[in-house]
Amino acid sequence: MSENQEAPRTPAAAHRLIVAITRLRHRLREEAGLYATRLSVSQLAVLTSVVEEGPVTAVYLAQVQHVSPQSIAQNLAVLKAAGLVRGERDPGDGRKTLIRAEPSAPRLLLALNESRESFLARAIDQLVAPEERADLERVIDLLERFAAADLDDKDTEI
């Protein structure tokens, strides 16, 4: 940085980062075809849990998604209507219903992820010069650190 350039103020940098991440998140959802599914982000999060951890109970889903049982019930109703999940009696405890993914659910999630990754790979190839690739790796490292940050610990070293 030259003497005439001033380091960006932390609040301004934080604001720019929020805007950039929000715009990129929206673009990734668009490129993945998420909006065409007519499913909300919450519904897809529930579907992902069912696919990855299922069969599971609605109570379990509410706990891992940190939402109310009513919210899970609403999301599951939409996913059932879309033919992505089904409920069945728990063979070990007939009072419980287990939520299981239909075969189309993992295929949908895979297609969304592949579309997102394909868009980003094309964007990197077209927009990031070879000499900027190391910078991109550093930015990814920083974003991973932000995502994992525990700011309650005031002794974090820089």
Contacts of 142 (CB under 8 A, 6+ apart): none
Q: pLDDT below 50 — which residues of the chain?
A: 1-2
* Alpha-carbon span 108 to 96, nearest angstrom: 27
pLDDT of residue 8: 63
Positive or negative torsion for Cα 35, 41, 45, 47 = negative
Mean pLDDT score of the chain, rounded to an integer?
91
Q: How far apart are the first and last CA of the chain?
A: 19
pTM metric for this prediction = 0.77
